[in-house]
A and B are shown apart, each in its own frame.
Chain A
């Protein structure tokens, strides 16, 4: 199973014009995930300083090509994409009410970003309740597909923090020109 550059560009055009933010495509042993990056360069807020910046920077879609275990049957692009958007993700929910932080300390790199791979025991964020910080574990294994709250935001008990595309780690493969 091969994808030509022309086909990839065609797919990109499709998703750019569509109302979806993300497209996952599985064809045989190839898995293609295309995502419109929103907020990619927005500066992440440091714990308890200022309100989150509202800048939305539209970027060119990012392509990741993942090779998956060989699978048969080609399916229709549209159907599959919609299905995965609705059903394919697992949520990581907040185990407590508190303030949500993406970094262990101001200036430190975030625990993860969209596309990061997490194992069950990995810390995904911090929750602060009255100056006490609690580490939140992923509880699932897979790729982070979406980060829902803004860092520094009050989060309820049970609120979904992350959407994870479940599965094992997959080696990335460069697209051949």
Chain B
């Protein structure tokens, strides 16, 4: 590929594997930048070259932009793929790439800046005449907070302007909680993001999370590859995703897709991106939530129904190629579901469960895809997030996709550690889920049911004894 012949993969885990695989498919060399804890990881095993960038702690390795840049230059790479998380949405890295004649596989630093500050993003999107979630500007102090809450009403969400991706969010349900929650939210935002700016947003108790996959190039072309429904969340983190969004009218579907494209087109967006919306099921009105300026964890469900290899497309775009397809070439067929499998113990309040995987057998079959970096004998490090695999199933329709997912989860053998597989199996068998009567609070309600899990021991198939 002209412009890009070697890519430094500045990430770890399943997404690093995904990126290296895409590079191989494009005939591009890959360099895995790994921390000391990841020297034996799958990305290190499959990349053309491995370079150790630092100690296990992310702040000493995967989050060090200067080291990543030095590693890219020193290995003769001409591009950096940041994956998701870590440095993927840091304008500084994208900017330094520019200054050092390296290609940042992602949008421009300007786009990263515009959407990275969630308050600025709301303002920009409002300017494009797209509805945003009713909320406030920056809330400076408690006095102001009381005033704003009076206008918005309870419950209300307190969000960090520098947050995003479900981080830095707190809910306030009554006036008595406001003072303490506001103060702790500011302190936490300062520590987590280095910016204590907060704003308020209305909380919709009966909402769905619907997001549009955007693909844009450097020639002003912007298309969408359909939408995803990510309503099943626990603590603002997605658990199960699917595409297309089920049981919404085609008119509404088109409006949401169009809104996503409008935002990306107006900001001259030049990469993969996701525009997230909240759909209030009581009023059937959708609102802009935020835009994620990177490849997303749940991108495979879109790949499954569209046939587009999004990561390859992202690399091609970064190498200054035109989009390989136009909007009318995008054909969505079937229904896809993704379950995120975490190394967590559902019985212990989803406590992370690092350790060695003694047995690892992935399910196989028509319409089953597993994206993972794990294998038998692999040690799950305590330094990083607990995602160990994504199981994706494709069916001709939603019920076939659910059937295949149930089969896949049942036949996924992981031993040595606890995983969320039994919990996911439980979800996939709930009548509410099957009938699509869920919202973003549904999982929390499920977890409130007494003994929801212990009464369902037959879902626990993970142990090999």
Enumerate chain A interface residues (CB-CB to B < 8 A).
Answer: 96-99, 128-130, 132, 154, 156-159
Contact = CB atoms under 8 A, between A and B. Distances in A.
A82 to B, nearest CB: 29
Contact of A156 (B52, B69, B96): B52
22 contacts: A96-B54, A96-B67, A97-B51, A97-B52, A97-B53, A97-B54, A97-B71, A99-B70, A99-B74, A128-B70, A129-B67, A129-B70, A130-B67, A130-B69, A132-B66, A154-B70, A154-B75, A156-B52, A156-B53, A157-B54, A157-B61, A159-B52
Contacts of A97: 51-54, 67, 70-71, 74
Interface of B: 35-36, 51-55, 61, 66-67, 69-71, 74-75, 96
Contacts of B52: 97, 156-159
Contacts of B70: 97-99, 128-130, 154
Contacts of B74: 97, 99, 154
Contact of B66 (A129, A154, A156): A129
A131 B36 CA distance: 23
Contacts of A154: 51, 70-71, 74-75
B75 to A, nearest CB: 7
Contacts of A99: 70, 74
A128 B74 CA distance: 11
A102 B264 CA distance: 50
A90 to B, nearest CB: 19
A154 B54 CA distance: 13
A158 B36 contact: yes
Contacts of B69: 130
A175 to B, nearest CB: 44
A139 to B, nearest CB: 16
B95 to A, nearest CB: 13
Contacts of A129: 66-67, 70
Nearest to B54: A157
Given A130-B66, A157-B36, 8 more contacts: A97-B52, A97-B74, A99-B74, A130-B96, A132-B66, A154-B51, A157-B53, A159-B52
A129 B35 CA distance: 16
Nearest to B69: A130
Contacts of B71: 97, 154
A154 B71 CA distance: 8
A159 B52 CA distance: 9
Contacts of B61: 157
A98 B69 CA distance: 10
Contact of A157 (B55, B66, B75): B55
A129 B64 CA distance: 10
Contacts of A130: 66-67, 69-70, 96
A159 B39 CA distance: 13
Contacts of B36: 157-158
Contacts of A159: 52
Nearest to A128: B70
Looking at B35, B36, B52, the one whose CB has the most chain A CB atoms below 10 A away is B52
A96 to B, nearest CB: 6
